């Protein structure tokens, strides 16, 4: 099925160019270590976006790459680094030395990110929590305020809503209108999708609407909230997509070693992002390694019957 | 190849010590790295009815079929009892449904406050660490907290540079004063020792030092004046059965080897 001129099914290049302008607030990496839309991050780098605010819970190395490439002014994330291999070298260079540019960090926690996005999704200005009381994390008043429960007088922390300009989310399959199926751990994906002004989906497969409608309980959010659908197989490598490919643990170790120096980071970026026109070329560069990651143990769910 | 039982690594000892913190039937908030393994060992041996919760939204009560590098690896989904949103599992934690949680960190002080955010002045940090992740939430809300980190004078410090994850603050009564609903640290497990907390003073007290070193070495490598518990003893070594189960998951020592992981 080819893209219609007025349809949502577009190339990754077009989706990023239309929905991720300079200065945008972008939420990504919402499932945590799986379904990270690396292909979208790489396209953002190729298009030379600047002054982005990145929002996420933990972010694994996608945020590290965007920060190292100079695309980012501000990070609102509970954790930035390399989950299986260590610290994020580009993140450290930016926050400690301002290289390649200074990045402002708003400290937060995973639960606080979830609550901020949930408040955004519910259309309320904040949500209360008992988490982080006494922690130094909520010291930035633009995001957190101490408060008293009006009924009991007990201390509470208010977490301010976040409504990102765009959520870039990976899913297993979507129809051309953005009605999509996502399965596995959901992290903050539903909240991020519902809170954002635009949603860009990266789908491993684009399927007929009847496939999606056969199982509406598995739908991430209704298509009318989605601005663009990109058919992008392999778009999450080196992170895993349940049912499609496993995590490439070695790739994270290699990235960790290669990006220890600024020069090493530049070289890595040239090899895996700047020299490549698109995701197809990236997967070709991975070669046999990519085939190996797709050798899976089948684990189909029992069929669900919506008989009526 | 089956290695000799006496041939355990310090990492293996730490995982086994962490697994022993999980009691049968408990609901466990499993953190990153070593606790991923500790939960599997506990589940297979002494805590078969325990339930594991992961902040990405996974709840499982059977061990994973394979070693996990991260909680979102695909083997953690297969056989799970629930795959849901983070808000739902954090809600269980906030309501008080979680018995014990595990976190790591770069620094801990004698009241069990943990820093995983900044080394040095937070406004001009010497080192920007990755941040809380879910650690501050687990430390705030679980009924018990186990902190796992490498030992050293710059890690077990008099006062943390930044209190990412609240322990007992500045001592008795602090958690209640700031409004935390429950909990607090119950143990610190390092590559040299196990500390537990005095319920009266809220201070970390040394209960076990790991074999192959002296108690004196532990004291010298700790950044606060160490209180040693009456009846403190060497850490019980991993049993053959504990090592067998652990090595089924991590035969290569990905999480338990003696590789230098100081920059983590």
pLDDT of residue B262: 36
pLDDT digits (tens, 9 = 90+) for A153-176: 999 999 999 999 999 999 999 999
Q: Which of B12, B21, B26, B55 is catalytic?
A: B55
Task: List A residues 49-78 in contact with B (Cβ-Cβ < 8 A).
Answer: 57-58, 60, 77-78
Note whether B131 contacts A187, CB cutoff 8 Å.
no
What is the C-alpha separation between A66 and A46, in angstroms, rounded?
10
- Closest-approach residue (CA) in chain B for A29: B56
State the nearest Cα–Cα gap between B195 and chain A, in angstroms. Answer: 22
User: Is B55 annotated in the active site?
Assistant: yes
pLDDT of residue B261: 39
Note whether B69 contacts A249, CB cutoff 8 Å.
yes
Tell me how many domains chain A contains: 1
**Of A58-62, A235-239, B56-60, B146-150, minimum mean pLDDT range:** A58-62
State the nearest Cα–Cα gap between A103 and chain B, in angstroms. Answer: 12
What is the C-alpha separation between A88 and A292, in angstroms, rounded?
27
Whether chain B has a CB inside 8 Å of the CB on A211: the answer is no
Q: What is the pLDDT along chain A (308 residues), one digit of tens a residue?
A: 444 556 999 999 999 999 999 999 999 999 999 999 999 999 999 999 999 999 999 989 999 999 999 999 999 999 999 999 999 999 999 999 999 999 999 999 999 999 999 999 999 999 999 999 999 999 988 999 999 999 999 999 999 999 999 999 999 999 999 999 999 999 999 999 999 999 999 999 999 999 999 999 999 999 999 999 999 999 999 999 999 999 999 999 999 999 999 999 999 999 999 999 999 999 999 999 999 999 999 999 999 999 99
Instruction: Judge whether A133 and B165 are in contact, CB under 8 Å.
Output: no
User: Residue A206 domain-assigned?
Assistant: yes
H or E stretch covering A203:
strand A198-206
Note whether A191 contacts B85, CB cutoff 8 Å.
yes
User: Residue A92 domain-assigned?
Assistant: yes
Whether chain B has a CB inside 8 Å of the CB on A109: the answer is yes
pLDDT of residue B257: 81
Second-level CATH architecture of B5-249: 3-Layer(aba) Sandwich (3.40)
Contacts of A93 (CB under 8 A, 6+ apart): A68, A99, A100, A262, A265
Q: Which residue has the higher pLDDT, B3 or A158?
A: A158
Residue written as token pair 């040693």: B228
- Give contacts of B86 with chain A, Cβ < 8 Å: 32, 57, 110-111, 114, 186-188
pLDDT digits (tens, 9 = 90+) for B212-251: 999 999 999 999 999 999 999 999 999 999 999 999 999 8
Q: Give 3-state DSSP helix, strand, coil % of chain A, rounded to 5.
A: 35, 20, 45
pLDDT at B264 over 70: no
Note whether A58 contacts B133, CB cutoff 8 Å.
yes
Q: Which of B43, B8, B7, B13 is nearest to B194 (CA)?
A: B13
pLDDT of residue B31: 83
pLDDT of residue B198: 98
Mean pLDDT of all residues belonging to chain B: 94
* Domain coverage including residue A91: 25-110+163-213+223-293
Whether chain B has a CB inside 8 Å of the CB on A32: the answer is yes
State the nearest Cα–Cα gap between A222 and chain B, in angstroms. Answer: 17
Stated pTM of the model:
0.96
CB pairs under 8 A between A and B: 196
User: Residue A38 domain-assigned?
Assistant: yes
User: Residue A86 domain-assigned?
Assistant: yes
CATH number at residue A101: 3.40.1080.10
Strand ranges in chain B using DSSP code E only, listed in sequence order: 27-29, 51-54, 58-60, 82-83, 100-103, 107-108, 114-115, 118-121, 124-128, 144-148, 185-189, 193-197, 204-209, 227-234
């Amino acid at each position: 099925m080819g893209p219609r001129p007025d349809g949502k099914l577009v190339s990754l290049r077009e989706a990023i160019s239309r929905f991720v302008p300079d200065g945008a607030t972008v939420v990504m990496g919402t499932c945590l270590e799986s379904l990270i839309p690396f292909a979208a991050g790489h396209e953002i780098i190729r298009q030379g976006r600047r002054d982005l605010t990145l929002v996420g819970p933990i972010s694994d190395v996608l945020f590290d790459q965007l920060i190292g490439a100079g695309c980012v002014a501000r990070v609102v994330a509970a954790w930035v680094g390399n989950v299986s291999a260590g610290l994020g070298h580009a993140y450290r260079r930016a926050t400690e030395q301002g290289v390649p540019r200074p990045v402002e960090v708003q400290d937060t926690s995973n639960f606080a990110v979830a609550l901020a996005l949930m408040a955004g999704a519910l259309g309320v200005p904040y949500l209360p929590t008992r988490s982080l009381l006494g922690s130094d994390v909520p010291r930035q008043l633009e995001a957190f305020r101490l408060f008293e429960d009006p009924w009991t007088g007990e201390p509470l922390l208010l977490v301010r809503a976040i409504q990102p300009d765009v959520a870039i989310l990976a899913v297993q399959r979507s129809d051309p209108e953005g009605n999509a199926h996502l399965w596995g751990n959901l992290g903050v994906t539903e909240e991020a999708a519902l809170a954002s002004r635009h949603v860009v989906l990266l789908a491993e497969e684009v399927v007929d609407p009847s496939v999606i409608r056969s199982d509406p309980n598995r739908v991430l959010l209704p298509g009318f909230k989605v601005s663009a659908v990109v058919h992008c197989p392999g778009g999450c490598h080196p992170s895993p997509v349940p049912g499609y490919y496993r995590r490439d643990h070695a790739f994270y170790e290699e990235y960790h070693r290669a990006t220890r120096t600024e020069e090493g980071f530049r070289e890595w970026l040239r090899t895996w992002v700047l020299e490549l026109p698109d995701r197809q070329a990236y997967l070709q560069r991975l070669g046999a390694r990519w085939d190996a990651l797709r050798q899976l143990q089948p684990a189909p769910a029992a069929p669900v019957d919506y008989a009526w | 190849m089956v290695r000799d039982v006496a041939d355990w690594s310090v990492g293996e000892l730490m995982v086994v010590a962490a697994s022993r913190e999980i009691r049968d039937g408990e609901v466990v908030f499993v953190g990153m790295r070593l606790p991923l393994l500790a939960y599997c060992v506990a589940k297979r041996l002494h805590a078969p009815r325990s339930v594991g919760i992961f902040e990405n939204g996974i709840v499982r009560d059977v061990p994973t079929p394979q070693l996990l590098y991260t909680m979102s690896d695909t083997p953690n989904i297969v056989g799970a009892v629930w795959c849901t949103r983070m808000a739902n599992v954090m809600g269980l934690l906030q309501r008080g449904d979680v018995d014990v949680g595990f976190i790591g960190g770069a620094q801990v002080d004698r009241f069990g406050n943990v820093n995983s955010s900044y080394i040095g002045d937070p406004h001009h940090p010497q080192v920007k660490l990755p941040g809380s992740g879910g650690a501050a939430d687990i430390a705030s809300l679980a009924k018990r907290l186990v902190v796992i980190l490498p030992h050293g004078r710059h890690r077990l410090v008099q006062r943390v540079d930044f209190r990412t994850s609240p322990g007992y603050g500045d001592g008795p009564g602090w958690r209640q004063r700031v409004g935390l609903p429950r909990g607090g640290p119950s143990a610190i497990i390092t590559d040299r020792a196990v500390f537990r907390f005095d319920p009266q003073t809220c201070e970390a007290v040394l209960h076990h030092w790991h074999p192959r070193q002296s108690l004196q070495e532990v004291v010298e490598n700790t950044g606060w004046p160490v209180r040693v518990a009456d009846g403190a003893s060497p850490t019980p070594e991993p049993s053959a059965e504990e090592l067998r189960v652990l090595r089924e998951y991590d035969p290569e020592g990905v999480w338990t080897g003696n590789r230098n992981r100081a920059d983590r």
